[in-house]
């Protein structure tokens, strides 16, 4: 494929021309560059779109009417192709309170064509297209202007080869009669609820909670909720308020006065000055509450009957995976099969294309 023509869109006339060109296509590739090192919410710095014929880098910093793109991103007649879309969708959701739809995610589709689960974009481009992409600008500051030619080439490549990946993958999925398998997965990716962070669920990101007493766990959960809500309100990174290890230390010590709080390691004086009394109130209130239940991190050993049932199920999955040229572990992990053996319904354990592919093997 010849190199697509590239445009840098930084004025209103070019933006309107781009929108008109996008409306002439049934799909286009989409990628974003953003920055969030100093904020809670990601800040959109560049948006790239591509078709097989052209690539455009749209600069939201230079455009007063950048949000004119919103309508076409939500146009249900035009497919948007992304790779590992979660962060792109999050940054656009924060900007527009909506997620581009419909979506095709090349990372989600890759296992159906024999590639590794969660494969990175550069690896997929190299394995499928034979193109090696440099990683020199993975840590670049995309908010600074002007952008260098090298930065723009890097950004262009993120969309340019995504368009080519889609053409190859779509053809292969159609040939193997698997395109419809992905409908549920892609619909889920367009669900805006995936890109919100309810403060009451923030504790689920913490590690080693199973080592805590009930009182400590309740405090850790309350502190995580407070940190998430405060970070969202102040638009600050979570770690700027409390690092995870500091939060867990607070839950274990459970200080009752500012004197104890001030003597704790890793507690910055500015945090105590600004939020000390609030933290003590959160800790005191949490002592009176029962903690929310943890997921079962250490299931009981399998019984002989369960082991036999698991082996039979694994054999059926392996046979099915071989028929479809899929990795058995990608199709159905041992952990999920154990849940089936112990009575969970397949629809509780598997979703999307995996549930479709496993019909028959799990009966």
Q: What Cα–Cα distance (Å) separates residue 256 from each residue in 74, 173, 278, 281?
A: 51, 60, 11, 9
Check whether residue 177 and residue 103 sit in a common domain.
yes
More confident residue, 329 or 164: 164
pLDDT at 297: 63
Same domain, 20 and 138: yes
Q: Are 62 and 11 in contact (CB under 8 A)?
A: yes
Same domain, 48 and 171: yes
322-331 per-position pLDDT tens digit: 888 888 888 9
**Stronger pLDDT, 55 or 2, i.e. the higher one:** 55
Find the domain containing 338 and state its range. Answer: 304-358
Q: What are 82-139's pLDDT values in tens digits? A: 999 999 999 999 999 999 999 999 999 999 998 998 999 999 999 999 999 987 766 7
Output the pTM of the full model: 0.89
CATH number at residue 130: 3.30.420.10
Beta-bridge mates of residue 56: 7, 49
Q: Report the C-alpha gap between 101 and 88 in whole angstroms.
A: 12
Say what the pLDDT of residue 327 is. Answer: 87
Look at the chain and report how many structural domains it folds into.
3
Q: Looking at the structure, do residues 183 and 58 belong to the same domain, yes or no?
A: yes
**Domain check: are 313 and 279 in the same one?**
no
Boundary residue ending a domain (147, 177, 195): 195
Q: What is the pLDDT of residue 3?
A: 60
- The contacts of residue 176 (CB under 8 Å, 6+ apart) are 112, 113
Mean pLDDT of 305-325: 91
Q: Is residue 363 part of a domain?
A: no
Reply yes or no: is the peptide bond before residue 146 cis, omega within 30 of 0: yes
Q: Identify the band that residue 2 occupies on the pLDDT scale cut at 50, 70 and 90.
A: low
pLDDT of residue 137: 63
For the segment 264-281, the average pLDDT, to the nearest whole number, is 93
Q: Is residue 65 part of a domain?
A: yes
| Domain boundary pick from 161, 195, 229 | 195
Phi, psi of 294 (to 5 degrees): -85, 150
Statement to judge: residues 143 and 210 lie in one domain: no
Buried b (16+ CB within 10 A) or exposed e, 249-264: bbbebbbeeeeebeee
13 contacts: CB under 8 Å, gap ≥ 6: none
Give the pLDDT confidence score for residue 361 in this predicted structure: 77
């Amino acid at each position: 494929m010849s190199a697509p023509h590239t445009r840098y869109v930084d004025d209103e006339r070019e933006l309107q021309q781009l929108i008109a060109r996008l409306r002439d296509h049934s799909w286009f590739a989409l990628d974003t560059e953003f920055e969030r090192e100093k904020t809670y919410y990601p800040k959109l710095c560049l948006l790239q779109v591509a078709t097989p014929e052209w690539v455009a880098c749209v600069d939201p910093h230079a455009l007063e009417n950048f949000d004119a793109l919103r309508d076409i991103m939500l146009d249900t007649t035009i497919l948007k192709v992304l790779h590992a879309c979660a962060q792109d969708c999050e940054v656009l959701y924060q900007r527009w309170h909506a997620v581009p739809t419909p979506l095709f995610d090349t990372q989600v589709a890759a296992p159906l064509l024999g590639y590794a689960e969660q494969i990175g974009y550069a690896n997929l481009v190299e394995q499928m297209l034979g193109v090696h992409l440099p990683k020199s600008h993975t840590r670049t500051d995309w908010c600074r202007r002007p952008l260098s030619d090298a930065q723009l080439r890097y950004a262009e490549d993120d969309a340019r080869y995504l368009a080519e990946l889609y053409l190859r993958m779509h053809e292969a999925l159609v040939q193997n009669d698997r395109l419809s398998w992905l409908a549920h997965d892609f619909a889920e990716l367009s669900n805006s609820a995936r890109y919100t962070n309810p403060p009451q669920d923030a504790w689920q990101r913490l590690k080693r909670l199973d080592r805590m007493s009930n009182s400590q766990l309740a405090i850790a959960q309350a502190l995580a909720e407070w940190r998430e809500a405060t970070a969202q309100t102040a638009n600050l990174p979570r770690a700027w308020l409390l690092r995870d290890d500091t939060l867990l230390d607070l839950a274990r010590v459970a200080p009752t006065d500012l004197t104890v709080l001030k003597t704790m390691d890793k507690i910055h004086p500015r945090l105590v000055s600004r939020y000390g009394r609030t933290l003590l109130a959160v800790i005191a209130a949490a002592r009176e509450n029962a903690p929310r239940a943890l997921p079962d991190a250490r299931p009981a050993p399998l019984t002989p009957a369960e082991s036999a049932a698991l082996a039979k199920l694994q054999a059926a999955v392996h046979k099915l995976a071989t028929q479809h040229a899929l990795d058995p572990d990608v199709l159905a992990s041992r952990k999920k099969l154990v849940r089936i053996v112990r009575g969970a319904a397949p629809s509780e354990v598997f979703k999307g294309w995996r549930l479709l592919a496993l019909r028959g093997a799990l009966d």
